[in-house]
Structure 1
Amino acid sequence: MSFTFAPIGHVRSPYTDKFGIPRQPGLVTAAEAHIELLPKFAREEAFKGLEGFSHVWILFVFHEDCLTAGWSPTVRPPRLGGRESVGVFASRAPYRPNPIGISAVEQLGLIRDAHGLALKVRGVDLLDGTPVLDIKPYVPYADNIPGAHSGFAAEPESVAADVAFSVESLQGIADADPTGTRRLRELIEQVLTQDPRPGYMDRYPQRREFGLRLYDLNIRWRIDGNTMHVLTIEPLVDTSALGRIREA
C-alpha cells in the first residue's frame, strides 16, 4: 500500500541554506516566515477559528537531497556530537523512510497580498521553499505531556556566551535591513548563539571562520572561545538559485 500527498503550500523563510537552521523549532524566535498557500487552499474560511490558537503544528517534507538520498536504520544526531548512533525512529533526522517532519511554531495570523494568502509564523526551523503538507492547531492539554521523558535530548544544548558585531557588519545590517522588518541583527545573534557548526567540528580546532546564508545575504563570522564575531554581511553574488523570499 502506498499513499500520494500534494503540498498545500510552501515555506518562505530566512533560511536559504541548511547550514544555520536551528536544530529544533522555537529556539530562534526572530526567525519569522510565511506559509504561502497554493491557490486551491488559499481560502480564509479554511482557517476560521485558528485565531484562538497561539501555536500550530506544521507537517512538512524534507526536500532537496533528502528526497533522493534514501534512509538509514541508524543516524548520528548532532545532539550527540555526530559520534554516537541511534535508531532513526529515535531521532528527528531528515533521512527517513518517508522524509516527513513536524514543527510546532507560533502562528501570527493570515496575510493576503500580491503573493496570495499566507500564514505568518515565528520560531521556524524550516528551509526556504519547504513543501507543507498540513497545518494543525497546537492543543496544550493534549500536546504538552507532563512528566514526559526526552532520552538523550533531555537537557538544552549549551550556547555561546556572546555574539559581537564589527563596525562593518553593523553597516551591512543597516544596508540590508534599513527598516528593521527582517529583525536581521536579532536573527543573526540568535542563530549564532545556538552555534550552528556541526558537532564534529571540534575535531578541526584550526578552523575559526565560517559563512552563513540568511535571506539573500552572506554572513561571515569567526569564533574565538565562546564568542562569535560577526565580520561582514554582504549580498550574495548569485541569488538565481534561491527561491522567492518573502520578508516577514
Structure 2
Amino acid sequence: MKEIKPIAYFRSPLTSKFGIPRQSGLADNLVGKIVFEPQYQREEALRGLEEFDFLWLIWGFSANKSTDDGKLTVRPPRLGGNERLGVFATRSPFRPNGLGLSSVRIKRITDGAIEVSGADLMDGTPIYDVKPYISYVDSHPQARGGFTDKKAWKELSVVIAEEYSKKFDKEDLEALKEVLSQDPRPQYQHDAARVYGMPFGGKDVKFRVDGAVLEVMGVD
C-alpha cells in the first residue's frame, strides 16, 4: 500500500496536547488554519469548496509517543477515566494507526489555506486528507451514542479577572473560555488547590478548579 503523507499542517493557538478539546465542535470560537503543502496550494484543488459549510479532516496524533502499545481497551474521559472500553468503541487518541477524524466549520478559504473553527487539533498536526461534510449522508440525528448518551459532560463555569482578560483580543478570549469550560485536567485529578498551566496563543494560562468553577490565576 502506498505510504500516506501529509497534505497540510494545522495552525492553532493551542501548542500542546493539554487543553485540546476532547471532540471537535465543542469550542466553536476556537479558530485555526489548515495550511497546505506547496504542491497542493493550487486554486483547482479547492475549487467548489466555497459551497460547503463543514469539512471532515483526517489527521495524525503526532504528539503521542506511541499509538500501538498492544492494548485493546482504553479509559474514556467521559467515564471519569476509571472504566475501560474497547478502543474501537471510543475516540481515544491512542489507536493502532494513530489517526483522527474531525468535523470542522469553514470560516474562510484563502490561497493555500482554509480557516476553520471548532477543531480539536493542536498546532503542527499533520493532515492527511480533507473532505466536504455532506449532511444527507453524514448526519444521523437519531443515532444511538453508546456511553456518551448515558454520561453527560458537564461544562465548568469560567472566571477570568479583567486584568487577565485584557491580555487577549475578543475572539481569542471567547475561544479560551470555551476551551477551559471543557475542563482540560486529566479526569483523575480533582485537587482544588492545584494550579495548572496551559499554553494558549503564545501565553501561559494558569488556572485551578474548585467544584464546577474554573478560575484563571495568571496569564504570562
Q: Provide TM-score, normalisation by structure 1.
A: 0.83
| Contact 2:30 2:176 survives alignment (8 Å) | no
Residues 91 and 68 of structure 1: CA distance in aligned 2, closer, same or farther (over 3 Å): closer
Partner of 1:216: 202
Q: Which runs of at least 4 in structure 1 moved beyond 4 Å after TM superposition? A: 66-69
* Equivalent-residue separation in structure 1 for 2:152 and 2:113 (angstroms): 32
* Equivalent-residue separation in structure 1 for 2:46 and 2:65 (angstroms): 30
* Equivalent-residue separation in structure 2 for 1:69 and 1:233 (angstroms): 36
Partner of 2:180: 192
AA aligned opposite 1:158: K
Tell me which moved more, 130-139 or 148-157: 148-157
Aligned residues: percent identity? Answer: 40
AA aligned opposite 2:31: E
Partner of 1:159: 155
AA aligned opposite 2:180: L
* Equivalent-residue separation in structure 1 for 2:145 and 2:120 (angstroms): 19
* Equivalent-residue separation in structure 2 for 1:214 and 1:88 (angstroms): 29
Partner of 1:238: none
- Tell whether 2:160 aligns with 1:172: no
Q: Which runs of 5+ in 1 are unaligned?
A: 235-248
Q: State the superposition RMSD in angstroms.
A: 1.7
SS at match of 2:64: helix
* Equivalent-residue separation in structure 2 for 1:68 and 1:196 (angstroms): 21
Q: 1:214, CA displacement in angstroms?
A: 0.9
Could you tell me which of 189, 210, 214 is aligned with 1:201? 189
Partner of 2:127: 132
* Equivalent-residue separation in structure 1 for 2:148 and 2:198 (angstroms): 25
Partner of 2:92: 93
Partner of 1:60: 59
1:44-59 map, 5 Å:
44-59=43-58
1:15-54 map, 5 Å:
15-54=14-53
* Equivalent-residue separation in structure 2 for 1:28 and 1:120 (angstroms): 15
SS at match of 2:143: coil
Q: Provide TM-score, normalisation by structure 2.
A: 0.93
Q: 1:188, CA displacement in angstroms?
A: 1.6
Q: 1:3, CA displacement in angstroms?
A: 4.1
| Contact 1:11 1:129 survives alignment (8 Å) | yes
Q: Which runs of 5+ in 2 are unaligned?
A: none
